[in-house]
Amino acid sequence: MPMMTAQQYEESLRALNLEVYMFGERVANVVDDPIIRPSMNAVAKTYELAHHPAYADLMTARSHLTGNRINRFTHIHQSIDDLVKKSKMGRLLGRKTGCCFQRCVGMDALNALSIITYNIDRKYETSYNQRFTQYLRSVQENDLMCDGAMTDPKGDRSLPPHQQPDPDHYLHVIEEKEDGIVVRGAKAHQTGAVNSHEVIVMPTIAMQEADREYALSFALPSDARGIVYIMGRQSCDTRKMEGGTMDQGNLRYGGHEALVVFDDVFVPWERVFMYGEHEFAGPLVEMFAAYHRQSYACKVGVGDVLIGAAQLAAENNGVAGASHIRDKLIEMNQLNETLYCGCIACATEGQKKLSGTYAVNTLLANVHKQNVTRFPYEIARLAQDIAGGLMVTLPSEKDLNAGATQKWVKKYFRTQPGVRTEDRMRILRLIENLTLGTAAVGYLTESMHGAGSPQAQRIMIGRKVNMAEKKKAAMRLCGIEEDDS
């Protein structure tokens, strides 16, 4: 089964036996839970569009392992064209779902591991790349959704893993066996965790010799014994339990994050892709981060939705022609398209690595993500400006439809002839969802902290920029001699 349909994906999740907790209770039926379900719908879109002729070119690729047509989310980039299509796919899905569709993290983990396992083997004559390739083949052939699990809880941030008062604050090996290892620890903020078939674990920071037991990468089925999921809350999340068709803003899609606990979990050797090669922990983090910073093409697509909603809100209010509104919408578009430039540029300036995988340009990917930590906030501010205060003072859907209040809500929130009060309210609810509600997790906070917080990108920008070359260019033009001594 090289490519699952959305329906097959949903059924495949039903076959899993995940240990998921939310609001203090175990979730018996993860797929149909009203709070989790919209996030499953968003991932399902990545399966659905792969079968759509109009999107096949972006959503699918040919496997370099089997030659089969596969979902691009399981593909190892074989060219610049692949990298560009990845960015375009992110924008497309962001526009289709208006939220985080969660599947990029696993794709980025697979691509980073395809490079780093190869590099480890070159140095140590290990066989990680062969193991990884075997694993990749099964991910591609079964069209699996993978959670890329990087972020440890980190405990005391001033201390490296091996000096933590609680040694489990970074995920580590607690026992070596003949047939594998036993691991303990946790990964925080795991996007799409309970919608995943697989969890791919990577280290979260560069490590020293003393951190060897923490320099670890492996993959496990998401329902492996000992893996526990604790769902994160999002603002306004319980609106999804109200059963209406308006107040949640985005009626079908959403994202989720979870704390994933590894409570002494066994990993067979054939699923271990790094263990102890501490000097490769940093390069793996950097490679994954560069790919994932490119993936923030998704926010351009979500920005498209928000800009469209702001335009509609202005039209509904009868102010779309006002010059200051037009100018704000231009500003929103300029910021959003600037983000698009970044995710396309880091792809077109990509490079082939020794393993054969194409990697993005690290400097440009970091510049792109740094812009993502800022521009969506400004786009959201402008959308709220255009929407007006009603976005947060609006009565509920029930008040719009209930006998006693219906006539007042309809009368006093009516604007121009031809604009239905209900439609005006729906657009405002969508803007609320994107800038303050459940989707604000993905559009704003995740833009800030996902794929590393702003400072992480600034460090990489400082490291990757060629300052010597810039100084030389300046010196040459004003006649300063180079000092050869």
- To the query of whether residue 341 is one of the catalytic residues in this protein, the response is no
Helices (H), 272-402: 281-295, 298-317, 323-348, 362-372, 375-387, 390-393, 397-401
In one letter, which amino acid is 141? E
- Nearest 5°: CA angle at 227, between 156 and 41? 105
**Residue 450 in contact with ligand SF4, rule: CB under 6 A:** yes
For residue 102, the partner it binds in Fe ion, ligand SF4, none, with Cβ less than 5 to 8 A by kind, is: ligand SF4
Cα separation, 220 vs 236, whole angstroms? 32
Residue in 10, 292, 373, 438 annotated catalytic:
292
The distance of closest approach from Cβ of residue 260 to ligand SF4 in the complex, given in angstroms and rounded to an integer, is 15
Helices (H), 204-259: none
Question: Which residue shows structure tokens 């769902």?
Answer: 231
In contact, 206 and 285? CB cutoff 8 Å = yes
- To the query of whether residue 75 is one of the catalytic residues in this protein, the response is no
For residue 274, the partner it binds in Fe ion, ligand SF4, none, with Cβ less than 5 to 8 A by kind, is: none
Q: Which residues bind Fe ion (CB under 5 A)?
A: 450
Contacts with ligand SF4 by CB under 6 A: the residue count is 12
The distance of closest approach from Cβ of residue 124 to Fe ion in the complex, given in angstroms and rounded to an integer, is 31
- To the query of whether residue 257 is one of the catalytic residues in this protein, the response is yes
Cα separation, 290 vs 345, whole angstroms? 13
Cα separation, 181 vs 179, whole angstroms? 7
Residue in 191, 204, 362, 373 annotated catalytic:
191
**Residue 87 in contact with ligand SF4, rule: CB under 6 A:** no
Return phi, psi of residue 9, to 5°: -60, -50
Q: Please identify which residue in 20, 105, 332, 343 interacts with ligand SF4, judged by CB under 6 A.
A: 105
Cα separation, 458 vs 373, whole angstroms? 11
Stretch that binds ligand SF4, among 129-137, 158-166, 227-235, 290-298 (CB under 6 A): 290-298
- To the query of whether residue 343 is one of the catalytic residues in this protein, the response is no
Q: E strands along 90-225, which residues?
A: 146-149, 172-176, 180-191, 198-201, 216-221
The distance of closest approach from Cβ of residue 460 to ligand SF4 in the complex, given in angstroms and rounded to an integer, is 17
Residue in 99, 100, 146, 343 annotated catalytic:
100
Nearer to ligand SF4, 222 or 311 (CB): 222
**Residue 345 in contact with ligand SF4, rule: CB under 6 A:** no
The distance of closest approach from Cβ of residue 265 to Fe ion in the complex, given in angstroms and rounded to an integer, is 24
Say how far residue 69 (Cα) sits from the centre of its chain. 24
For residue 260, the partner it binds in ligand SF4, Fe ion, none, with Cβ less than 5 to 8 A by kind, is: none
Nearer to Fe ion, 372 or 430 (CB): 372
- Pairing mode of beta strands 351-352, 272-275: unpaired
In contact, 19 and 224? CB cutoff 8 Å = no
Query: If residue 26 lies in a helix (H) or strand (E), which one and from where to where?
Result: strand 25-26
Instruction: Restricting to residues 401-440, name those near ligand SF4 by CB under 6 A.
Output: none
The distance of closest approach from Cβ of residue 124 to ligand SF4 in the complex, given in angstroms and rounded to an integer, is 32
Where does this chain bind ligand SF4 (CB under 6 A)? 100-102, 104-105, 191, 295-296, 298, 442, 446, 450
Give me the active site residues, please.
100, 104, 191, 257, 292, 296, 298, 446
